[in-house]
Structure 1
Amino acid sequence: MSRSHIQPSSRDWKAEYRLLGHTLCLLALAAPLRAEPSVSLSVDADRVGLNDSFSLTVGMSGGDADNVKVSGIQSFNVLGTTSGNSISIVNGRMSSSVQRTYTLSPKRTGSFTLGPATLRTGGKVYRSESAQVTVVSGSGQNPAPAQRSPAWPFPAEGAGTPSAGNVKVKLVASPQKVYVNQQITLTFYLYHQGGLSDVSYSPPQTVGFVAQKLKQPTASRTTVNGQTYIVEQVPTAMFAVKPGKFTLGPASLTYSSGFFDQPRTVSANPVTVVVSNLPVSGRPVNFDGAVGSFRITASLDKVEVKRDEAATLTATVTGTGNISSIRKLTIPTPPSFRVFESSQKELTSVQGTTVTGSKTFEYVLVPDKEGKYALGSVSLPIFNPATRQYLVAKSQPLALNVLPGAPTSNSTNLPGLTGPQPTRLLREDIRYIKGDRASLAVRTPPRYQSPWYFGLHLAGLFLLAGVRVYRRRVERFRVDEALQRTVRGSQAARKWLREAESRSKTGSAEEFYAALSRALIEYLAARLNVPAAALSADSVPGHLAAASILADTVAKVVDCLGRAEFARFAPAAVGEDDKLAYLQRAREAINELEQVFRNAT
């Protein structure tokens, strides 16, 4: 019996050793086949107008995409960013790649160099080629030739549809007349009869749009002119960032029909779309650019609170459209309520070829007075492109009952103190009169005649006065939102300016400018009462102009923020010598802003 148990055990160990040896051999063979890290850079237009936008695509394989830096990007405004990744095995060599596309718009005219893009990984630095972009006044796009709307089903041969062999492609935009921020579905159709290999798809040019991938390519079959084709679709959602007439495309496909076949390329003709600005008539005063079909639900975590206690209001916007464009909601609160925005959560999904999603806002409400409050509905003005009308989406009405807070007592009954106690006899003894008169000659003066006695009483009076002043300041701080913003802004500015000063001595230029930017952004967010995420070098001038800030002060702030963004995207190009100058410039800007804000209050 013992041998019958030992023999199978011996065979199992041998099998495991063989499996381990085979695995190590495969890993050793696969290691050299992994592709060398690389980085590439390209633009979809080398000549653009000052009012146009274009795409910068950075491709990376064999490293972390967050370690890629692009020089020259600080000369443009970044309108949006999209990313995608893929894994491929060609001739036994495996590679994973990440493609990041930036939608850029020029800041000024001239010739600019974008790149190189640098990738740091494994102790080495890899660089891409550079791209030249010329920015001219007006529009730099060449007029697109008039295109006939593609038909469905597939048009007959010779009808102007690009083809190569048994492969045909076309590009369809639906709809072709839209409003700003309305979705366009751009679909690339591929018709073939099978047998394709080494397929490489080049997406269409989408200047002036923010693109979002909808879903994985789908395949079906159809019959055209008596021949059966496999139809593959690659849809992309497009959102225009500004009005105008735009050309989308071309899109191309490179493929081979066999192992010995030379690669072929076929391109789909571009399509033209017209983007109109949103109508002015009927636009609500507080409209913030939301386009689509949305609805709002809202709720309170409590229906009854005490005065000075917090209640959390949660509002969720769901529907179809560019959910990322929704930045704020209208919260109905009485003047006796303090409102603080807590957080935002965004979720984007796809239903068919339609972009949908939800965005959740959380607010903290703190009532200052008791009573029953009908708060009303949370609202969001939107433009519905289907009806071409503005409307206001509203949640169900909310109500909150505020009870009196904990009463404050002026009673002098403090813990540990009791009422009068009966006299108790502690001990009995005889105290004899001393006969030594000399010891009775020197008497200590009474304590109430000591200077310390009066000093302690005066100190007590000053302490009571200080407590009274402190309580008045605390009460004023609780109800004075302007004072709260002043204190928060000053604290944030001092904290991050100290951090910037420390980084100027020991940290890198990127860390220094990040702290400097944080000081300005946190200060302005507190003083202007706007979220920090809504402030940037582009949006700050508008906010400061509304607050009647001098142009020279605005220029200082924008210069510091622009320098910080430059250091973020191109740290290698930022020198170490300008740190103290920009630190002093930021301090001067904050001091000048503080004087204006204090005079205004």
Structure 2
Amino acid sequence: MRLCNHFILVFATFSPAWALQVTASVDRSRCTINDLITFKIEAEDASSFPTAEIQALSKDFSIISGPSQQTNMQWINGTMTNSRTMTWSIAPKREGNLRIPSLTVKVGRKVFKTKPLQIQVVSSGQNSNDLNVFIIAEIDKDEAFLGEQITLTYKLYKQANVSIEPFQLPEFTGFWAEELYRPRQVSFKNVSRSGVRYQVGTLYQVALFPIPGDKYVIPSLMVQSKIVSKRSKRRRDPFFDPFFDTFFTEMVTKVIHSPEKKITIKPYPDSRPFDFTGAVGQFTIDASTDRDSTNVNEGLTYTINLKGTGNMGLFTLPDIKFPNQLEAFSPTEKFKKDVFRDALTGTMSWEYILIPRMAGSVAIPPVKMSYFDPQSETWKRIKTDAVTIPILPGREALVMGSGFSKREVELLGRDIRFIHTETTQWKRINAPAASLWILSIYGMAILFFFAPPLVGRVLGYRVQTAADRQARGALKKACRNLKAGAGDPFDVASSTVYKYLQDRLQLSTHNLYPTMVEELLSKYLAKNELITILDHLKTCDAGRFGPDGVDRESTIIDETIILLKTLDREIGK
């Protein structure tokens, strides 16, 4: 008897787990292409909601909404039952016999498999012109070149009172899309289509540019709508007067599809230019600088403006070769769009930061590019004018001439001998031949003659000590200047590095630039260390003359201090 009681207790404890069941269901097994289907996954006697991956449905169905959760509890003959349900609204993508596959469902730690479901989808039995509400996809052309704009407009036509739910745009596979118009609220106007009066409103307008691919199809737009329709009357009664029609209407939820459209891609004509980078449309180009002249090591901005209509953003400029006297940084690209045009129109700008490294007149050659004009179906070429910039010597540039340098003047001053103006010292005829002063000179000469190693060591120690003091002074002076931090961090870091090299290497020129630094330090540093120094100097220049180094503005001083200490150690080896 005790064993039986234990068995009953164990059965009662685990009976909920045995009773746990998971089922999948739909509210209809036959529908039209415009109907919504309610898909449910229900778990009976479950302590938590079921979870399922329903991506497998996306092949034949679109997920319109969901999942939503619902809990149902009932008491029957003193026994409580409960169920937890997950619900989705789905819509068929095509007609025919569709299948909801078996899905893997998890409830807590348990895993279940649902049974597959079959759904028959039939045509609505009406043409678009006979419907109360429908969507069409209007395109301005069904044949286009790669990169040529195709303007797509989704329009909603209606005769009934219709409300539209927020919709998701399809993926335009094979196209680069640029949005042209998307209203916050759809406005309608009266039109006539095939002799039938409709109200039409624009849902979305987009510019599509074909890119290299395998398939070019304008996808269907799917919109969930609620349509107010009258209830059917079985008999004619005076009570059912038109005055009371508004009290006998119902809201019908429908899914509206626009038809797909195929695009044919035309090949480009022969003789494609060598400098064609993908520009398609109509364009003009010009170039300018932000100043008429500049100094050595002072940056200037060189701007290229491309104006026109076409596939802006899908191509680049051909490679630009600047003169060797100019150091060029990567350009900053901008696009200003004209929002009041159906075609993608605007101005693309490329801004280059150029730093002249040598004085003289520098000519930037014309920038040439080719594009394809789809209207005339011909290749065209445009170019900028050449830009000439006078480069003046820097304020600290070395002045070359036939005069003497400061060091040469100093050495020359040591060689000047002045006329003696002192009174002549006379000597007696009978005085001794060798005085004490002459004997002391001979003694000193003999001493230094026999002790040359000692003299060499003393002199060598003094010279070496002075060089070390000068090197340590250069590093300390540079670090002190960096920590003071007066002015732009990039400017302070750049000038400090150049000043340190002048003091450390005892250079007579003040006109330093990265190429010269590379030549000077190549005998002291390994290749990777030399690249680090040059990259650091270029980062400083980019921060001084452009926006590229803004993210390192707070750390550039500390990086420079570490870099100088490493450089000083390598030079001192």
TM-score (norm 2): 0.47
Q: Greater CA radius of gyration, 1 or 2?
A: 2
TM-score (norm 1): 0.45
